[in-house]
Structure 1
């Protein structure tokens, strides 16, 4: 095929992709594909240890050990350090409850896109996921394709070249979350670039074992997961902010 023919074919392919995702069905189509691929093969619970590294403005690393437990959909518990210390965050029913030394110090409405698009999307109705995305201000009518870290991805929520809009990137072949770009709370004009890396297969589903967070092109936080277990029994009381029951920290 000559150069003119290849250029024509590329234009046709781009036009086809744009037409395939035209209108409000664009982002809905991606979410429905994600759900359909894994709805019968995704874990209901998971727990893991998390090495959390925060980087200050000078690049100095500050490391802490967290422990996460997730019940899909919608429930998350993070213990910062040993659970018996009472420093925890519990996400349940769309509220994030924060505890310090066993006492609740905050309760805020929160839709965690990492939870929603990394876990919940596979075990709840696409309509529920789409309603929450709309609530968060993501324009699901905007969809295009990019290449990200050598893999094709769907970008939902932004036009091509726009890295400021609230958006998420989905691996086109594996239909897994690759990236979220979202506004930074209380910092107008700033965005967090959250990257989901090192996916590891589980008996049912997959988990990104590393998450990197960038702001202004600088790495500000890294999460590294170990001792990953899925479909394990988790006490419902661990996700009840009125009780703050204490699970064991270690594995």
Structure 2
């Protein structure tokens, strides 16, 4: 294809913009993404003991059964799967079920599915675009200490509790803290008790805060990777036809 001078100039500008955007990604985040890119297991399953809190007091608990096919399929069954209470995440769309009845779908992406696995199936440029859109400034970062260990903090250049940010263990590169700030609320997740399985690390406990108040805790059990999962399990139109626990 023969290019005229004007067309060549456009290509040069587009290349410069793309190169500039890539260069602006924090070097430590590039390192983290590189470590797990293409190494993350395609599927996971686990169950968790979920605690619900109000005014710092545990009000009830429930067992959840969870499974995912990365990068963007995830399902949670609340309580006994036979009761038909569940949620299916398919990319940015969420499908809720109550007593096996499908409710109206909603645009409600689960950012944790992306941060805790999904992003390692996409290129660094794609991850940068996604997380920037979600409010994280991927060009900024600095070192800090979290619970006695060194961490790399991505999203801010210095201590700032008003901005969205990701905190990664400096040695093993697993996520230990996430805060996402929007106009009305601040979501914070803390990830603890990491264990290595295969080439990845997975959290054993999670604490979730909204506007500084503890609202939920999660204790993970029986975490497995590369499980044979039927894609129909994540198909809202085939809900109830198959379950990974009793396949």
Measure, in 2, the Cα distance between the counterparts of 1:217 and 1:160: 20
1:26 Cα deviation after fit? 5.0
Secondary structure in structure 1 of the residue aligned to 2:132 = helix
CA contact (8 A) 1:31 1:121 kept: no
Please give the TM-score of this superposition, normalised by the length of structure 2: 0.83
SS in structure 1 opposite 2:221? Answer: strand
Runs of at least 5 residues in structure 2 that lack an aligned partner in the other structure: 1-20
Partner of 1:11: none
* Partner-residue secondary structure (3-state), 1:116: helix
Quote the offset at 1:162 in angstroms. 1.0
**Paired residues of 2:88 and 2:96 also in contact (CA < 8 A):** yes
Report how many aligned residue pairs link the two structures: 227
Match of 1:247 in 2: 243
Provide the C-alpha distance between the structure 2 equivalents of 1:39 and 1:114, rounded to a whole number of angstroms: 17
Unmatched runs of 5 consecutive residues or more in structure 1: 1-22
* Aligned position for 2:231: 236
**For residue 211 of structure 1, what is the aligned residue in structure 2?**
206
SS at match of 2:238: coil
Check 1:31–1:123 CA distance in 2 against 1; reply closer, same or farther (3 A cut). farther
**8 Å contact from structure 1 (residues 69, 78) kept in 2:** yes
Q: Shift of residue 24 of structure 1?
A: 6.9
Within 5 Å, which residues of 2 pair with 1:65-84? 65-84=63-82
Aligned to 2:134: 136
2:197 is the alignment partner of 1:202:
yes
Scaled by the length of structure 1, the TM-score of the pair is: 0.81
1:248 deviates by: 4.9
| Alpha carbons 1:111, 1:136 under 8 Å: kept | no
Structure-2 residue corresponding to 1:63:
61
Q: Residues 26 and 141 of structure 2 are in contact (CA less than 8 Å); yes or no, is this contact kept in structure 1?
A: no
* Residues 106-115 or 131-140, more deviating: 106-115
Query: Structure 1 residues 147 and 24, CA, compared in 2 at 3 Å: closer, same or farther?
Result: farther
Tell me the CA shift for residue 50 of structure 1. 0.9
Question: Does the 8 Å CA contact 2:78/2:86 hold for their aligned counterparts?
Answer: yes
The CA RMSD measured in Å over matched residues stands at 2.3
- Equivalent residue, structure 2, for 1:224: 219
On the 8 A contact 1:24/1:141 being kept in 2, the answer is no
Give the secondary-structure state (helix, strand or coil) at the position aligned to 1:60.
strand
Is the CA contact 1:84–1:246 (under 8 Å) kept in the aligned structure 2?
A: no
- CA distance change for structure 1 residues 141 and 204 in 2, over 3 Å: closer, same or farther? closer
Which of 38, 51, 54 is equivalent to 1:53?
Answer: 51
